[in-house]
Structure 1
Amino acid sequence: MRSASVNNECYAQVVAKANLHKHILHASHDLHKHISRTVNEFEHSSLQSTFGWDSDISFPKVLGDVIESLAGAIFVDSGYNKEVVFASIKPLLGVMITPETVKLHPVRELTELCHKAQFELSKGKGFENGEACFTVEVKAKEMSFAHTAKASDKKMAKKLAYKEVLSLLKKSLDS
């Protein structure tokens, strides 16, 4: 539960939903463009009401840092009172993850599934035309499932590749 809700992606989504990104002061034109593009993409996605690992959007780390900075400032200003921090931040966060809605990160879920079922899992990474590439392949009995994902950063490429192979593997196991 903790790793699913206390992560940069969830915090960044909270910042985008609350329009707090408009209050970030910085001198980088590229960062401003990246934040604007990401928030716009998020606002037009179907994931606005979800949290966790479903997002295919790569949020700039600075967005998640906003929540951590707010919590830290409130913690210091309140005389190091955790209850005040929680009471102040909770309305902003809302109900991000509950036991009913929690999902494992696709990397963890596929890794655990392969280990349990004794499937062979292989992976590779690299760069192509300035984009991060990540390939995942699972050999399950007589079948093989593979996918290569490209993204602006290697963490997102890895997540997308694992997510796709996990989906293919689950469909195969269900039929």
Structure 2
Amino acid sequence: MEASAAELERILCYRFKNRKLLEEALTHSSFTEGVSYERLEFIGDPIISLAISNYLFLAYPNLDPGHLSILRAANISTEKLARVAVRYGLHVFVRHHAQPLMDQVERFVEAVALENPSVVSHGGSVKAPKILADIVESIAGAIYVDVGCDLEKLWKYFRRILEPIVTPGDLEQQPQPVSTLFEICQKRGKHVEFKHVRTKTASIANVFVDGKFIASASSAQKDLAKLEAAKIALDRLASLVPPPTSVKPSSRNIELNFFTDEDGNMSIEAAKHRLHEYCESRRWSKPVYSIEKDSGPSHERRFICSVQITMKEEARILQISGYEKSRVKDAQNSAASMMLVALFEM
């Protein structure tokens, strides 16, 4: 580890007073022989956000809060930070016992190598694995603690890592997903609305077009949740996936506990059970699940499931798909989560 730490210090252009912090920042939770980077990631996440906010506030005195928020989100998104990790090869230093996860990282690294580096990316052909952004945040947290929790000193060392900083001009060249979504829908005479739900651990952004639920995403920060939800909405509109029918349930007494799953997607605890409870309370038929996609080699299957419910009093069928998952059970839970959000937030 000493040789790796020295090499990483050279890459970061920073020598740690306490190398144990760097070692911790590179330890995934699957590596039980060391302390996980989760605590350092916890402090690194908001610290990067604060450092970027401070920089943007001073750099663009005439920019309004809305545009500053968009600019901040572009600079600290999972997609941006993941590419920072790839650019400096930070992923090769991670200690782990999670090869399937690192295989995802390698696929992302290969995809990034084919991208145009001059383009501000809000998402390429392969979704950025969250672990890459986590690494950047945990290293930032490690440096922050090592410099005595001095934000100015952290920025002195870490700004170079985050460069190029996304500027307003960059966003004009490649419109930000939220702006693009509004523009596309406006041209089609459709109304876009974002509805936010705040839980103890995350902010959830739900996208509605003409009152119909389209997409949902979650993040620790509201801006990032909105950004990711807009990306998903654009993907669904582009692929002509029909949005679910608007439903306004009369009963909302079922408690929903939101969380962010291992893929970084919004999910609801025991979603299948909760959806079954809800349908039962409305005297609807049981939800019907179908596998919409089954792909990949036998050792690395990927599934997308949909769920369908029949609303007897309206003689209406509502169907929605979830996110891609590695297990059918998780794919069904994702679909149930999306259905519950559609039912309860419209």
Q: Normalising to structure 2: TM-score of the pair?
A: 0.35
Which structure has the larger Rg? 2
Matched to 2:167, the amino acid is T
Cα distance per residue 1:83-140 (max 9 Å; x no partner): 111111111111230110025442453136535874253533896211479xxxxxxx
Q: 1:21 to 1:49 in 2, by over 3 A?
A: farther
- Does residue 83 of the first structure (1) align with residue 247 of the second (2)? no
Residues 1:68 and 2:232 are matched in the alignment: no
Structure 1: how far apart are the matches of 2:131 and 2:162?
Answer: 17
Distance of aligned partners of 1:53 and 1:132 in 2 relative to their CA distance in 1, 3 Å threshold:
farther
Aligned AA for 1:65? D
Counterpart CA distance in 1 for 2:164 and 2:291 is 37
Ranges in structure 1 where 5+ consecutive residues have no aligned partner: 134-149, 155-175
SS at match of 1:101: helix
Query: After superposition, where does 1:94-109 map in structure 2 within 5 Å?
Result: 94-102=163-171, 103-109=174-180
- In structure 2, the CA distance between the partners of 1:100 and 1:107, relative to structure 1 (3 Å rule), is closer
Contact in 2 for aligned 1:131/1:151 (Cα 8 Å): yes
Aligned-partner residue type, residue 74 of structure 1: I
Separation (CA, whole Å) in 2 of partners of 1:93 and 1:132? 37
Task: Report SS of the residue matched to 1:128.
Answer: strand
Cα–Cα, structure 1 residues 69 and 96, in superposed 2: closer, same or farther, change >3 Å?
Answer: same
Separation in 2, partners of 1:89, 1:132: 41
- Which of 90, 93, 98 is the equivalent residue of 1:28? 98
The residue aligned with 2:88 is 18
The CA deviation at 1:51 is: 3.0
Distance 1:54 1:62 in 2: 16
- Work out whether 1:7 is the aligned partner of 2:171: no
Per-residue deviation, residues 16-56 of structure 1 (Å, max 9, x unmatched): 1111110111111101211111111211x223333341523
Q: Residues of 2 paired with 1:86 and 1:116: CA distance?
A: 41
Aligned identity (percent) is: 26
* Equivalent position of 2:314 in the other structure: none
Deviates more, 1:59-68 or 1:109-118: 109-118
Q: Residues 52, 37 of structure 1: CA spacing in aligned structure 2 closer, same or farther, 3 A cutoff?
A: closer
Alpha-carbon contact 1:51-1:96 (below 8 Å) kept: no
Unaligned regions of 5+ residues in structure 2, if any? 1-70, 192-208, 215-242, 245-289, 294-302, 307-321, 326-330, 332-346
Pair 1:63–1:82, CA change in 2 (3 A): same
Instruction: Classify 1:108/1:151 alpha carbon distance in 2 versus 1 (closer, same or farther; 3 Å).
Output: farther
For residues 190 and 98 of structure 2, what CA distance do their matches in structure 1 show? Answer: 46
* 1:10–1:52 CA contact under 8 A, matched in 2: yes
Out of 55, 65, 70, which is 2:124 matched to? 55
Question: What amino acid does structure 2 have at the position aligned with 1:86?
Answer: W
**AA in 2 matched with 1:20:** L
TM-score (norm 1): 0.65
- Give the aligned length: 137
CA offsets 1:70-92 (integer angstroms, 9 cap, x no match):
11111111111001111111111
